[in-house]
């Protein structure tokens, strides 16, 4: 696949990810010489209706986004497949950086200051998304979807990005929206597992991501007591910050921060 030209313009450099019927590719725009990301979905007899719906929703969502820390929509084209059917290709801007997950896999854990920097940056993005019309609920915040473009010694010193809008939900005015179960094990709050997603669902996922970044413990292995992550047991940080993380990850919606603004305000109040 490297070297292949798609859409008469994009030269594939390498494959970044692959799932059934889906590919994520790093390519170069032969007109501008800029790197781009191609997300490709194969349209064939095996495609599920939800897959196509989510892919189309990602295209529609990216077309409306205008935030420096999220991908930009660059275009769309279709590909005729050799045997039968077609593939849809979404073109989006390439975000420079290394994922939080890549750092964790190499044994790098993050201190309290670094975790706080990640929290502030992602909450700022969530405020933008949640105030979008209609509100955008990411539904899949996890270490692999947060990019850090700082130098390896100071990864959080540069821009922090939130990527992969392939699981977004466009919220309707009602408090709860019934949806398919979408997200990643360990990072989904109980209501999302129960097919419901609200703005505070993203806060839970971010909270678990931050705890994992600090502790290095995979989300599915975090110690729990009565469905609550035992933050104080695994976080050697100031009590106020532990309490903030505990509130971010409360399993009951009524006990969690309701909005990204409330979470950020409480975080900034910790001296």
Q: Checking DSSP bridges between strand 98-99 and strand 146-148, what pairing results, if any?
A: antiparallel
Residue of 34, 80, 140, 149 with catalytic role: 140
Q: Cα Rg for the chain, rounded, in angstroms? A: 19
Q: Among residues 65, 19, 49, which one has the least CA distance to residue 168? A: 65
Neighbours of 223 (CB within 10 A): 12
Q: Among residues 244, 270, 269, which one has the least CA distance to residue 257? A: 244
Catalytic residue check, 140: yes
- Terminal alpha carbon distance of the chain: 51
Helix, strand or coil, per DSSP, at residue 13: strand
> Are the C-beta atoms of residues 271 and 216 closer than 8 Å to each other?
no
Residue spans of beta strands (DSSP E) within the chain: 5-6, 10-19, 22-29, 35-43, 73-80, 86-93, 98-99, 136-137, 146-148, 160-162, 169-170, 224-225, 228-229
Q: Checking DSSP bridges between strand 22-29 and strand 10-19, what pairing results, if any?
A: antiparallel
Hey, which residues are catalytic here?
140
């Amino acid at each position: 696949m490297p070297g292949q030209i798609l859409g008469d313009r994009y030269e594939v450099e390498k494959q970044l990810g692959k799932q059934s019927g889906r590919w994520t590719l790093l390519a170069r725009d032969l007109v501008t010489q800029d790197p781009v990301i191609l997300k490709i979905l194969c349209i064939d007899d095996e495609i599920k209706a939800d897959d196509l719906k989510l892919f189309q929703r990602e295209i529609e969502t990216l077309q409306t986004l205008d935030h420096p820390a999220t991908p930009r929509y660059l275009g769309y084209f279709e590909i005729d497949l050799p045997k039968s059917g077609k593939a849809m290709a979404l073109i989006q801007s390439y975000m420079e950086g290394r994922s939080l997950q890549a750092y964790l896999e190499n044994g790098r854990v993050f201190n309290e200051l670094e975790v706080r920097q990640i929290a502030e940056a992602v909450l700022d993005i969530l405020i933008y998304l949640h105030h979008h019309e209609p509100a955008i609920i990411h539904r899949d915040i996890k270490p692999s979807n947060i990019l850090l473009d700082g130098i390896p010694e100071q990864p959080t010193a540069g821009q922090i990005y939130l990527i992969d809008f392939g699981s977004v939900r466009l919220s309707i005015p009602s408090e709860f929206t019934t949806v398919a179960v979408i997200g990643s094990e360990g990072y989904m709050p109980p209501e999302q597992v129960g097919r419901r997603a609200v703005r505070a669902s993203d806060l839970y996922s971010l909270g678990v991501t931050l705890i994992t970044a600090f502790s290095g413990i995979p989300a599915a292995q975090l110690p729990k007591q009565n469905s609550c992550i035992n933050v104080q047991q695994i976080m050697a940080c100031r009590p106020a910050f532990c309490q903030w993380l505990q509130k971010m990850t409360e399993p009951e919606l009524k006990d969690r921060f309701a909005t990204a603004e409330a979470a950020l305000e409480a975080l900034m109040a910790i001296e």
